[in-house]
Structure 1
Amino acid sequence: MRNILVVEDSPLVLKILEHLFRQEPRLQPLFCASLGEAQVLLETSASLFFAAIVDLNLPDAPDGEIVDLVLHYHLPCIVLSGSYNEQRRDELLLKGVVDYVLKESQHSYEFAFRLLHRLERNSQVKILVAEDSEATRHFIRRVLSPHQYQIIDAEDGNEALRILHEQPDIDLFLVDHSMPGISGFDLVKLLRQKMKRHELIILGLSADAKGSLSAKFIKHGADDFLRKPFCPEELNCRVMSTLERRDMLHALKQAALFDSLTGLYNRRAFYEQGEQLFLQAQRGGQPLSVAMLDLDLFKAINDEYGHASGDTALVGFARCLREALPDTLLGRLGGEEFALVSHLDGPGLAAGLDQLRATCAQLRYAAGAPPLSFSAGIYHGAPDDLESLLHQADIRLYQAKRSGRGRTLHN
């Protein structure tokens, strides 16, 4: 839960914000209508707040005094304003506010909430700035720091390469075109030979007036380009939009690989990963075990206790399965059917599943529901073909269910 300080005196704006906060269970607003109320709250409880959304013009603070108060307590500050003033906007951004949002439409307030969500994630985002101008590096740091990013500086391309080698978890690279030693343009070409776009976001910078330079940067691997001098708001928007695109692509990739309910590999990804394991085992001349697992009487759980309880049972079972067999390829093939590939032999894997069975019996997934049980079939042998071994395991699963459920059969 994140506590958000909201300082706003307009009943209409408060109504809109309250509506949006109701859709965000992880964000808990505390509303104030004046500078005085906010001052009392911050003096006693500033450490409890994650960020603040404030109106620039309050009855007892008509000249933005609330911004200075919030920044004094080192809180990320999102400013709402009913009128646009470009000079005031730049002053506020350089003063250290997260952003300056006009009260224009529903979209404006939704943008403020996008900023809150980014602030939650930004503390894990590392940005490397490669720029030979100390003044420009300082400017970029001043603009980006309020967004809670981890910012690292490099004075030239060679230092940037060293830092990227030492810290491979850097998310975004801001690089100037013209630097001593290796140029930013050559650096982008070099990096893209080693790192894909989802591994490192690159934003090119240049004061060169040539319009073709931005296209040249992007064609050789940069994700975006900024021409200097740029305003603080433009830099923030470009950085945020590239990070959001990366996060969206990551989410799409996750959705393509993992079952949305249990977090295990889905059927397609399980078979793809399984085939890779089989190829490795074949090259090494090692046997593998596969198993098919099925929750017992799962339809009765859904019918008698509801689908929400059935989902709880599936989630709990998947969690226990991961804990019991951490070094095993696991997948949910559909419904209550699961599969795995393991380097354990048949008896060893059966022993692991027996321990899992005891753990599952203690799971609580619905009031008054019987202990959760599963049946399993295991086949251990030469890794000739994944589908064939899973078929053999499925035959043993069927035999286990016919012989009374709640047991494991193996060859």
Structure 2
Amino acid sequence: MTQRSAEYQPLFRPQDKRRVLVVEDSKTFSIALRQMIEAETGLKVTSCGCLKDLSTAILRDQEGYAIAVVDLNLPDAPNGEALDWTVSHGIPTIVFTGTFDAATRTRIMEREVFDYVLKDSEFALGNLVGSVKRALTNKETRILVVDDMTTTRRLLGQMLTSQQYSVVEVGSGADALMMLEQDQEIRLVVSDYNMPDMDGYELARRIRRRYPAEQVRVIGISSSTDRTTSAGFLKAGAHDFISRPFVLEELQCRIASNAETLLRMRLLNDLAWRDYLTGLFNRRYFFERGPKMVAEARRASQPTCVAILDIDHFKLLNDEHGHDVGDDALRIFADHLGTSFEGHPHLLARLGGEEFALLLPGMSESAAAMLIEEVRIGIAGLGMPVRHVNLGLTVSIGLAVMSATDSLDLALRKADRALYAAKQAGRNRLNA
């Protein structure tokens, strides 16, 4: 199966400086909603109780809203005028309404809102906050739409774009496979059944052979009245099926369900691959991913270097100041390492204790030594205030360049011998 680098990208963490706009005339409900949204997303909320306040807020900061939550019926906007304001200003909008019938649904869906939530149960507030979170995380999901009919393909793409997904479109199965190779961020493939070069079943089978389910999920679509079409897609490796013409809410829910499953899988993988203390990758991930990165560099005829970094006198630090201070020092040290290697292709992991491993694919020994030496000097000059102590940590580093036949284990043993020599020579130095 093909390994996709996007699997290792950071998950969504709310760092958006924009705000959430809440338009609701009930002060009690507005306060509760604001508190929940801010607690669960990290974004600040601007609250408006009427159309006049809404128009003022939008005109003052039109580009500053990530999402709007709008009560459909306000005292000074009883016919959805507030919704018209947010939609016309390009703000993705979630509608919250206590009255709902066929005419209301049509009025809402015509405006291509992100979602609507009914005020019909004690779960309504939680559902609303969940919808806000989906609107923010959907931006992290890239969807490939495959259909040989340009009009239908673009219509589906428009529906998904209104849901804040990132959308790519192609017109054939062969183009879909090529796009998956080129675009490592694609997470969902939505494919029609009838296509000229290969049908949707064959495309699903080929995708499943190349990519595991936790990396790419497939959803089949078809306007066929043959009820076995859905079974054919599922047997071929697809995860879901949607009949056309679409019921928009069904489309939204099925896509959202698959996107959420992928996100949960990534969260579980992240927990399995991350060191609990520092947040860096752990030993298991280093030895799983590292050999693949080495192989990729070799196929490109590029050199690869590996280094082991060990904090000097760390046992003494723990003995003198306690393990809590030692843990804090490890976190600060790891943060500094992570920042120092940003912008360079690398794999950084905590192997255990105070020992860290670094893989630098595509980097020569001289370039790696120069970069790592800068990091060592930076650490030596970095005062680390940890609780009541200002620590001055240093690090010893062993560096090895991999030969064409070296395994990662062998290269690490070379780096470990170089590290031992650095410590024997007085510590706080790089040895290659």
Are residues 1:266 and 2:269 paired?
Answer: no
1:48 and 2:38 aligned: no
Q: How does 1:107-122 map to 2 (within 5 A)?
A: 107-122=123-138
TM-score, structure 1 length as denominator?
Answer: 0.80
Equivalent residue runs for 1:4-153 within 5 Å: 4-24=20-40, 26-105=42-121, 107-123=123-139, 125-131=141-147, 136-137=152-153, 139-153=155-169
Match of 2:381 among 343, 348, 362: 362
Q: Is the 8 A contact 2:200 2:233 kept in 1?
A: no
2:350 to 332, 344, 350: 332
Preserved contact between residue 57 and residue 64 of structure 1 (Cα < 8 Å):
yes
Alignment of 1:293 onto 2:316: no
- 1: CA distance, partners of 2:310 / 2:420: 10
Amino acid at match of 2:380: A
* Residue equivalent to 1:165: 178
CA distance in 1, matches of 2:204, 2:364: 49
Q: What secondary structure is seen at the aligned counterpart in 2 of 1:23?
A: helix
Between 56-65 and 269-278, the greater mean CA deviation after superposition? 269-278
Report the alpha carbon displacement of residue 16 of structure 1 after superposing the two structures with TM: 2.4
The letter of the residue matching 1:129 is V
**Counterparts of 2:158 and 2:268 in 1: how far apart (Å)?**
33
Contact 2:330–2:354 (CA under 8 A) maintained in structure 1: no
User: Residues of 1 paired with 2:396 and 2:120: CA distance?
Assistant: 59
Gap change, CA 1:107 and 1:399, over 3 Å in 2:
farther
Partner of 2:334: 314
Tell me the alpha carbon deviations over residues 156-185 of structure 1, each in whole angstroms, 9 at most, x when there is no partner. Answer: x53x53355256424433222235564333
CA contact (8 A) 1:129 1:152 kept: yes
Higher mean C-alpha deviation, range 176-185 or range 51-60: 176-185
Matching residue of 2:242:
226
One-letter code of the match for 2:257? Answer: S
Q: Distance in 1 between matches of 2:360 and 2:65?
A: 47
Rate the CA distance shift 1:13–1:335 in 2: closer, same or farther, 3 A: farther
Q: Which amino acid aligns with 1:361?
A: A
Q: Which stretch shifts more, 357-366 or 239-248?
A: 357-366
Distance 2:218 2:79 in 1: 38
Moved more, 336-345 or 13-22: 336-345
Structure 1, unmatched stretches of 5+, are: none
Match of 1:369, SS state, is strand
What is the Cα deviation at residue 226 of structure 1? 0.9
Q: Is the 8 A contact 1:301 1:309 kept in 2?
A: no
Q: Bigger CA drift: 12-21 or 133-142?
A: 133-142
Match of 2:260 among 233, 244, 265: 244
* Letter of the structure 1 residue corresponding to residue 178 of structure 2: H
**Counterparts in 2 of 1:315 and 1:301: CA distance versus 1, 3 Å:** farther
Pick one of 354, 360, 372 that aligns with 2:393.
372
The code of the aligned residue for 2:255 comes to V
* Aligned pairs, number: 404
State the secondary structure of the residue aligned to 2:392: coil
Distance 2:353 2:208 in 1: 42
Q: Is the 8 A contact 1:6 1:53 kept in 2?
A: yes
TM superposition shift of 1:55: 0.8
Query: Aligned with 2:238: secondary structure?
Result: coil
* Paired position in structure 2 for 1:254: 270
CA contact (8 A) 1:207 1:229 kept: yes
Instruction: Measure the CA separation in 2 of the matches of 1:282 and 1:50.
Output: 43
- Judged with a 3 Å threshold, the aligned counterparts in structure 2 of structure 1 residues 301 and 97 are, in CA distance, closer, same or farther, namely farther
Cα deviation 1:274-332 (Å, max 9, x = unaligned): 56689999999x99765352244442566686854552233213433x359x4665421
Q: Could you tell me how far apart the structure 2 residues matched to 1:64 and 1:287 are?
A: 61
Q: What is the TM-score when the length of structure 2 is the normalising length?
A: 0.76
CA distance in 2, matches of 1:199, 1:278: 21
Give how far 1:111 is off: 3.4
Given the superposition, is the C-alpha separation of residues 302 and 107 from structure 1 closer, same or farther in structure 2, using an over 3 Å criterion? Answer: farther
Task: Letter of the 1:237 partner, please give it.
Answer: C
The letter of the residue matching 2:310 is L
1:37 match: secondary structure: helix
Q: Is the 8 A contact 1:21 1:27 kept in 2?
A: yes
SS in 1 for 2:99: coil
Higher-Rg structure is 1
Q: Give per-residue Cα distances to partners, 1:180-234, cap 9 Å, x unaligned.
A: 5643334333444444434543211223344332122111021210123331111
Cα RMSD between the aligned structures?
4.0
Return the letter of the residue paired with 1:161. A
Q: Deviations over 1:100-133 (max 9, x none)?
A: 1123456433333333333334445443434466
Larger deviation: 213-222 or 334-343? 334-343
